[in-house]
Amino acid sequence: MNIAHWLLDAAQRWPQRPALFEGSHLVADYQAFAAQARNRALQLRHELGIAPGDRVALLMKNSCAYLELFYAIWWSGAVAVPVNSKLHPLEAAWIVGNAGARLVYTDAGCTFDGLALPAGCRELAAPGLAEPTPLPGDALLAPHPRLDSDLAWLFYTSGTTGRSKGVMLSHGNLVAMSLCYPLDVDAASADDAVVYAAPMSHGAGLYNFIHVRSGARHVVPASRGFQAAELFELAQTLERVSLFAAPTMVTRMVEQARLQGYAGEGIKTIVYGGGPMYLADLDQALAVFGPRLVQIYGQGECPMSITALSREAIADRGQADWAAIAASVGRAQACAEIRVLDPAGQPVAAGEAGEIVVRGAAVMQGYWDNPQASAAALVDGWLHTGDIGFLDERGYLTLTDRCKDVIISGGSNIYPREVEEVLIEHPEVFEACVVGEPDAHWGESVVAFVVPRPAGNLDALALNDWFLARMASFKKPKKYLFCTELPKNSYGKILKTRLRQWLKDPAGSLNDL
C-alpha cells in the first residue's frame, strides 16, 4: 500500500479539518493539503519526468512545503530522500549522487551552484504555498499503486562514525512504525498538534504519518527550527502539543522553562530519543514538566520503533526500582522482537550485556547500493544494531553504549555512559561526554569532556573526588577537559569522532570543536 493513501483518506473523512500551520497561522485544511500533494505529484510526473521508483531529494529547513513535497513524491510513486539541511553542500551532493536522485528541492534553488550533481539531476527551489497550476490528466487522482515492499523513504544515517549509508525504508516499514505509535508511545487524535521543532529529515518527520492518519494539526514553528521559548508560546496558543526532541533539546527546554517560570502548559507529550537521557536530566525534566515525557529507542534502520518507555513508568517515582526503569529505554514495541547476543551470536542471560539485535516489520530492507554493509547488518532476519545493552527479567532494555564506544582499559570493559551518568549528576555539570584515548600502558584511558554550568566553580580535582565517591577507581577519567559546548550534529547527537580526532591532533581551542 502507498502510504500517501493516509492523506487521501484524511482529506475524504475530514476535508475542513485544520492540517498545516506556520506558527499559529493556519495555512491549509486537509482538503487543501491533499490537493496540493496531488497537484505537485502531477507536476513531478508530467512536467519534471519523475517516474515511480525515481528518487527525489529534499535539502530544506522545516516547512509546510516539506510535508506537501513528501506526499507529492509518494503520491507519484517516487522515493523521498530527505537530507539534513545543515550538511555542507559537498556532503549533500554526495548523498544526492549516491541515491541517484533525479531531482533535488532546496530552499532557494541555488545550493549546488558549481557542484556536480548526478547526470540528469536538477535542483529546484521549494515551491511556496500558493496553489500550483492544475495540470491535465486524471491518472493520479489517487496515489500511484505501491507494494508494501516498495521503497518509500531513503534515509541517510547521520554519519557520526564515517560515510553515511542509505537506509531503505519501504511503505510497509513506515506503516508498521506508525502503527506502533498509538500502541506503545502515545494516543494520537485530531485534537493534537504535532510541532516539528527537530529536523523533518529525521525522527520528527517520521512522526508525520500517524498524525496525518489521525487528522491532527501539523505545526512548523516560524523559526523553522527549535527555540524553547517559541515552542512554549505555541503550546499555550494551540494546546495539546506533541513533539519529538533529542535529549539535548529537552535539557534546554528545562533551562528555558525555569528562566520564565513555565511548567509545560499546553504540552501534551514530549517524546525523547536519539541519544542518552541521563537520569539526573530526566529527574529535572519531570520536576519542571510533570508526566509529559515518553522515551523511544530506534535507529534509522528500525526507525523510532525498537522500544518505548511509557509516561506512566517514567513518572511513577514511587516504584522501588524506579531509577533502573527510568534509566532504561523501555520494552519492545509491538512490531519489534529483541535479543541480546554475545560475541559468538548466542543469547545472553537476563542482566548480562551484549549486542542488541532486533527483527520485525519496521526493520529496513537493507542499505542502498551497499550489499556488503547490508549483509553485515542483517543476519538471518535480525538487525545488528551495534548498540550494547542488557534486558532485565521483565523485558526492560537498558543501553550501555555503542559497540565501538566501549573503552577497554587494562583488559576491563568500561562503558562511557555509566561514567557520564555519574559526572552529569554533579550539580555544576551541564553536559559530559566520555571517550577512550590510546594509552601505551593500559591500552586505552578514559577522557571526559565536560561543559560546566554558568557561574560555577568546577575544577578537575573536585570532579574527580565526586566520581571516586560513586564509582570504581579503574573507571575514573584520566583527563577532565572543560569546554563551553560539545560538538553535535543537527539531530543533537554528540560527535564523539570529533572529540577523538581532537585528542589525536589538538589543533585550536577546545571551544572551537
Residue 401 lies in a domain: no
Cα separation, 34 vs 7, in Å, equals 6
* Residues 455 and 375 placed together within one structural domain of the fold: no
Residue 354's domain spans which residues?
A: 5-391
User: Beta strands of 115-250 (E only): which ranges?
Assistant: 122-125, 151-156, 166-170, 193-195, 217-220, 241-245
**Burial tier of 348 (Cβ tally within 10 Å: 0-12, 13-18, 19+):** middle
pLDDT value at 135 more than 50: no
Q: Mean pLDDT, to the nearest integer, of 374-386?
A: 96
Q: pLDDT for 137-170, tens place per residue?
A: 555 689 999 999 999 999 998 654 456 899 999 9
* Residues 126 and 272 placed together within one structural domain of the fold: yes
pLDDT value at 136 more than 60: no
**Residues 301 and 383: beta-carbon distance below 8 Å:** yes
Average pLDDT, the chain: 92
Q: pLDDT for 416-457, tens place per residue?
A: 888 998 999 999 999 999 999 988 777 789 999 999 998 778
Residue 180 lies in a domain: yes
Lowest model confidence (mean pLDDT) among 152-166, 308-322, 339-353: 152-166
147: domain CATH number is 3.40.50.12780
Residue 207 lies in a domain: yes
Residue 400 lies in a domain: no
Residue 113 lies in a domain: yes
Is the model more confident about 290 or about 247?
Answer: 290
* Residues 423 and 465 placed together within one structural domain of the fold: yes
Nearest by Cα to 72 from 21, 124, 118, 112: 124
Q: How many CB atoms lie within 10 A of CB 368?
A: 22
Take residue 477 and report the three cell numbers written for it.
Answer: 577519567
Grid look-up 542502498 returns 368
* Residues 432 and 315 placed together within one structural domain of the fold: no
User: How open is the CA angle 470-289-397, to the nearest 5 degrees?
Assistant: 50
Contacts with 101 (C-beta within 8 Å, 6 or more apart), sequence order:
54, 55, 56, 57, 81, 117, 118, 121
Count of domains in the chain? Answer: 2
Residue 396 lies in a domain: no
Residue 346 lies in a domain: yes
* Residues 384 and 416 placed together within one structural domain of the fold: no
Contacts with 173 (C-beta within 8 Å, 6 or more apart), sequence order:
152, 153, 303, 361, 362, 363, 364, 365
Residue 431 lies in a domain: yes
Q: pLDDT for 5-60, tens place per residue?
A: 999 999 999 999 999 999 999 999 999 999 999 999 999 999 999 999 999 999 99
* Residues 356 and 252 placed together within one structural domain of the fold: yes
503: domain CATH number is 3.30.300.30
Query: DSSP string covering 255-269, please?
Result: HHHHHHT---TTEEE
**Residues 335 and 176: beta-carbon distance below 8 Å:** yes
**The predicted structure's pLDDT at residue 160:** 43
* Residues 41 and 178 placed together within one structural domain of the fold: yes
Q: Mean pLDDT, to the nearest integer, of 281-300?
A: 96
- Residue 351 region, left (φ>0) first, then alpha (ψ -120 to 50), else beta? left
